[in-house]
Chain A
Amino acid sequence: MPEKEILEKLKAIVTPYVQNKEGLENFDEKTDFLNDLKINSANLVDVVLDVEDEFNIEIDTESMNGMLTAGDAKNIILKKMI
């Protein structure tokens, strides 16, 4: 799956949880889930579960610990989908 497509899917996944909608305008690898999008940390768990469902992967605890930006999530997805 092309990286661009992964980022598009990620954007769709996080959108319902975003409290700062302006942060979505320049959604890219550097977009920070907490600082830029103001996603509540309890909803970050939903993002993790939605990513697991969408890409049919399992995100282990260690990977989840470092999933703070769209780029982090993309790299985890790429690694797990191999």
Chain B
Amino acid sequence: MIGNDIIDLRLTSGNNNWKRKGYLNKIFCEEEQDHILNSKDPELSVWLLWAMKESAYKAHQRRFDLPRRFNPKAFRCEIIEDKSTTIFGKVRIDTNSYHTKASISNEYIYCFATLNSSTNFVQKIYFEPTDLKLSLINAVSQLQNLPENKIFLKKSAQFIPYLNFENQKLFCNFSLTHHGNFSAIIVELRN
């Protein structure tokens, strides 16, 4: 299972909402709040942990076909290795845990989460407005050798996107994300 999240830092910078009284406490547990407030760049840490939680949420929701919940605090982040522009982490929810890898540039944070650290995938990050639906269909048609014009993107009753081919649900785990000018797709490869 897989999930991803992108944050356009040009939209979040100068937005001080996270400093509002009570804001951090709605999303982050005490340890996470300590980590944020003690980090070199608290604002960047807020959005890094947020992207970790979002991507893990997507992987978790897809894995169990869960109804939507706005429960960011239930997802607990741990930074495993911080190489400044690449950050490996773990996100736990109940007894489940997901591996995350985040890339940070001056303009964006991109993070994806997988159930297994050995998961193979293809992903594309777009730096200008893109038709993500078409990009996804194009990528999957190439991977599975299917005609592009017969693949359709749908949403389940739980609002989880899936792909249909000739009225059958395609066995294909993927995730889409979009924020501001940036967007990305990630597609899990069958081993």
Contacts and interface: CB of A to CB of B under 8 A. Distances in A.
Interface of A: 34-35, 40-46, 48-49, 52, 61, 64-68
A26 B80 CA distance: 46
Nearest to B46: A42
Contact of A61 (B20, B23, B73, B159): B73
A43 B70 CA distance: 12
Contacts of B12: 42
B40 interface: no
A65 B26 contact: no
B54 A61 contact: no
Given A42-B50, A61-B71, A68-B68, A52 B22 contact: yes
Residues of B in contact with A, size category: 10 to 19
B69 A49 contact: no
A64 B179 contact: no
Nearest to B26: A45
Contacts, number: 40
Interface of B: 12, 17, 20, 22-23, 26-27, 50, 54, 68-74, 159, 179
A34 B50 CA distance: 17
B17 A41 contact: no
B20 A46 contact: yes
B155 to A, nearest CB: 9
18 contacts: A34-B68, A41-B70, A42-B17, A43-B17, A44-B70, A45-B23, A45-B27, A48-B26, A49-B20, A49-B26, A52-B22, A61-B26, A64-B26, A64-B71, A65-B69, A66-B69, A67-B70, A68-B68
A16 B93 CA distance: 32
Contacts of B72: 41, 45
Nearest to B71: A65
A49 B17 CA distance: 10
